[in-house]
Structure 1
Amino acid sequence: MRKLYSLLIAVALIGLVSAANAQDGLSGLIKSSPADATKLLNAYAIPLFKGLGVDQNSGWNNTAETKKTLHFDVRVTASVAFISSADKTFDVTKIGLSNHVRPADASQTIAPTFGGQKNDGPLLNIYDDNGQKVSRFNMPAGVISVIPAPQVQVTVGLPQNTDVTLRVLPKVTVSNDVGSVSMIGFGLKHDIMQDIAGKTAGKLIPFDLAVAIGYSHLNLRKPLTVTPDAGAQPKDSQQSTDFSNQHLEGNFNSFMGQVIISKKLLVFTPFLAVGYNTTSASVTAVGNYPVTTGGTLLTSTYTSFSNPVSISENVLSGVRADIGFQLNVGFFRFYTSYTQAQYKSVNAGIGFGM
């Protein structure tokens, strides 16, 4: 089980490892003013934020049946969210950028998002307050069109037909370039059939019916490297020259509520669930960042901004439907499900319990 845990963690972090290849591109997004950098980074990374939200809300339950008191199961699963076609590109002229950042070619305005094609986006020019071009950068290429994430959880049966679940991903540092990820979550499930029909009648009804909720909090930390343009000098002595602690700090809070119906057929239990899920994201570019604000392309000056990017918004909100099954083979469990939500996703894994 421990080896499987490590394997799934490694597989689920492929997207983050791939993101390291986009390091220079992500850094380039913060070469504009704080307001413009925030809009560019948000437009580029929103599919990553949505995908993580869908993943966080997946894999909580594969049956409406609750466990007997103190019975348990331990499961290791992985979810993969598929970025929609609509979220693979965006128009840089439609996100409210200031007049300081403009496409070098007015006909080239469509940029890939994190989930788009692996080709550089349009070249953007940066202008100072006098309309003088002082810097430029390409929008980064896409990284990966699916967002993977692991789920490791323990569920214990409580009295009154209720289960409690702890979901946890200890902090995993992929590498110094890619960064780290961690997660913790809590869930509850209650079998309402016996509340509706009573214990005796409930046994006669040919299916289980439950309500469930789940909350999870995920942390991401990714290093960045934004250095002054070649030859650029500080605007004055007040500008910081220490750019050693640059990184993205992301916090994602997800909530899911659903109604589950299932039917146990010997060792096979198919289920269907309908519910609502939401995810809020808070992402900050921490550290000091040099932004070219004066001069020319040959001789330029920069202004240092501290924590220039701050994104805080609800990135995911809507109805979701899940269909799948649980297979019990002795002490072992096998799980799989498909989700239709803002993004489509699949979840699969194994566990053990009683």
Structure 2
Amino acid sequence: MKKLYFLTTLVVLSAATFKANAQSNDDGISDLFKGNPGDVNKLINAYTNPLFKGFGNSLNGGWTNTAKTLTLGHFDLRISASASIIPQADRTFDINALGLTNIKATSSPIAPTFGGSDALSTGITISDPADPNNPNRQYKTTLPKGVTQYVPAPQIQLTVGLIKNTDVTLRLIPTTKITDDVGSVGMVGFGVKHNIIQDFAKGAVRPFDLSVAVGYTRLSYNKPLSVRPETNNGGTTGSQDYSNQRLEGHFSGWNAQVILSKKFAIITPFVAVGFLTSKTDVGLKGNFPFVTGVTPSAVEADRKPTYTTYANPITIGGSSSSQVSGLRADLGFQLELSIVRIYASGSLAEYKSVNAGIGFGF
């Protein structure tokens, strides 16, 4: 029981680490609330899409490290974590290509995404919709910098052997509040694996194991936010009650694979090919202030943003650009030491990833 509690705690902390990195504070989100809701929605999606694609890819990892299935009554309890690498092409975006209404790049239009460089700072100019061509009613600021190119996701799962060369896997993290800053995380998933080589080599020595497997994972996340107008502003229209701000997200993924493995003493190398798909459904709930105007002044330093409050304004993800769908290839091994097992693998897909973990069973 102590081992189970320890493993569960590690997984929850892994989930917390991901979100702490993704939203270590609200500055990244706050810095994107520059302009009307339509413009902000496009900016937030462009900035966060690589984060959610990477997370969806990581969520699909770590299902198995061997084609061999467990026999009836045997089990394997494991904890692992996957980390996807955001490719170079998804580390920046072009502000001018977003079709923004009242925002344009001050100089270079290339801005970092979540996976971009923390040294790249991109300036933008916000025009007052009431007088968009008046230089005295334009407000200049910067977009948030990149955070990290690595996007992790946790897995904790129990696999139980059934009859007919088949085992089933359950992934589960009960909804758990980590802290007020990190938020709450919950996960559920299921998988099935069948060793087809045993169907054709009954009673014979099998040169290898060959299985087909499918798995589904869904993670839910809730985090309180604190997006406020700048202290030095030109006023706010609408509600100024921001106590109900939060981020609500659901991440789901399917993964189907054909797995080939061969055991040599205590080590089992494996290779797998398959298809994965993931979906992101994230929204900002509550009252949020948007920069929707600029107080006029001939002196740039004296121009101040004015705000309008909107309720439940933003949907993040949900578009094809934030989804992952395509072929996947995995290569790795399982090291078996009595009842303890150590796992590691690497994956080639749209987003490359690595997975490592530890488990026990018999």
TM-score, normalised relative to structure 2: 0.89
CA shift digits 1:158-194 (9 cap, x unpaired): 1111111001223343432232322111101011123
Q: Does residue 1:332 correspond to 2:333, yes or no?
A: no
Question: Structure 1 residues 147 and 3 mapped into 2: Cα distance closer, same or farther (>3 Å)?
Answer: same
How many Å separate the matches in 1 of 2:183 and 2:69?
38
Q: Residues 219-248 of structure 1: CA distance to partner in whole angstroms, max 9, x if unpaired? A: 22233322234333344xxx2221111122
1:338/1:231 Cα in 2 relative to 1: closer, same or farther (>3 Å)? Answer: closer
Which position in structure 1 is the counterpart of 2:127?
127
Structure 1 match to 2:309: 304
Q: Aligned pair 1:96/2:99, yes or no? A: yes
| Residue 300 of structure 1, CA deviation | 5.5
What are the superposed Cα offsets for residues 241-274 of structure 1, whole Å, 9 maximum, x if unpaired? 2111112212111000000011122222111100
Q: Which amino acid aligns with 1:117?
A: S
- Code of the residue aligned with 1:102 in structure 2: it is K
1:141 equivalent in structure 2: 145
Q: How does 1:242-257 map to 2 (within 5 A)?
A: 242-257=241-256
Q: Is the 8 A contact 1:56 1:149 kept in 2?
A: yes
Q: How does 1:67-106 map to 2 (within 5 A)?
A: 67-98=70-101, 100-105=102-107
Matches of 2:223 and 2:111 in 1, distance apart? 22
Contact 1:90 1:112 in 2 (8 A): yes
Secondary structure, aligned partner of 2:253: strand
Q: How many residues align?
A: 345
1:233 and 2:235 matched: yes
Q: Following the alignment from structure 2 to structure 1, what is the Cα–Cα distance between the partners of residues 330 and 154?
A: 18
Cα distance in 2 between the residues matched to 1:33 and 1:169: 38
For 1:62 and 1:80, the matched residues in 2 are separated by 16
Cα drift, residue 5 of structure 1: 4.2
Aligned to 1:52: 55
Q: Distance in 1 between matches of 2:341 and 2:89?
A: 37
1:313 aligns with 2:328: no
Question: Amino acid of the residue matched to residue 59 of structure 1?
Answer: G
Residue 299 of structure 2 aligns with which residue? none
**Cα distance between partner residues in 2 of 1:258 and 1:317:** 14
Deviation at 1:316, TM superposition (A): 0.5
The alignment yields a C-alpha RMSD, in angstroms, of: 2.0
Which of 61, 64, 75 is matched with 1:61 structurally?
64
Task: Measure, in 2, the Cα distance between the counterparts of 1:234 and 1:10.
Answer: 39
Residue in 1 that maps onto 2:300:
none
Whether the aligned pair in 1 keeps the contact of 2:253 and 2:276 (CA below 8 Å) is yes
Change (3 A) 1:115 1:254: same
Change (3 A) 1:31 1:247: farther
Q: Which residue of the other structure, out of 28, 33, 41, is the alignment partner of 1:25?
A: 28
Amino acid at match of 2:105: P
Quote the residue 1:110 is aligned against.
110
Residue 156 (str. 1) matches residue 155 (str. 2): no
Say yes or no: does 1:179 pair with 2:183: yes
Question: 2:288 matched to which residue of 1?
Answer: 289
Distance in 2, matches of 1:299 and 1:87, equals 33
Secondary structure in 2 matching 1:46: helix
Aligned to 1:264: 263
Q: 1:165 aligns with which of 163, 169, 172?
A: 169
Contact 1:234 1:303 (C-alpha < 8 Å) held by counterparts: yes
* Shift of residue 68, structure 1, vs aligned partner: 0.9
The match for 1:204 is 205
**Percent pairwise identity:** 46
In structure 2, do the counterparts of structure 1 residues 144 and 153 end up closer, same or farther at CA, with 3 Å as the change threshold?
A: same
Counterpart residue number, 1:342: 350
Separation in 1 of the partners of 2:336 and 2:28? 47
Residue 273 of structure 2 is matched in structure 1 by 274
Tell me which amino acid in the other structure corresponds to 1:343. Y
Q: Could you list the per-position Cα deviations for residues 277-298 of structure 1 after superposition, in whole angstroms to 9, with x for gaps in the alignment?
A: 0111111111111223234164
Q: Gaps (5+ residues) in structure 2?
A: 297-302
Asked if residue 190 in structure 1 is aligned to residue 198 in structure 2, the reply is no
- Kindly provide the CA deviation profile for residues 28-57 of structure 1, in whole angstroms up to 9, marking residues without a partner as x: 212322221111111111121111111111
User: Is the CA contact 1:115–1:145 (under 8 Å) kept in the aligned structure 2?
Assistant: yes
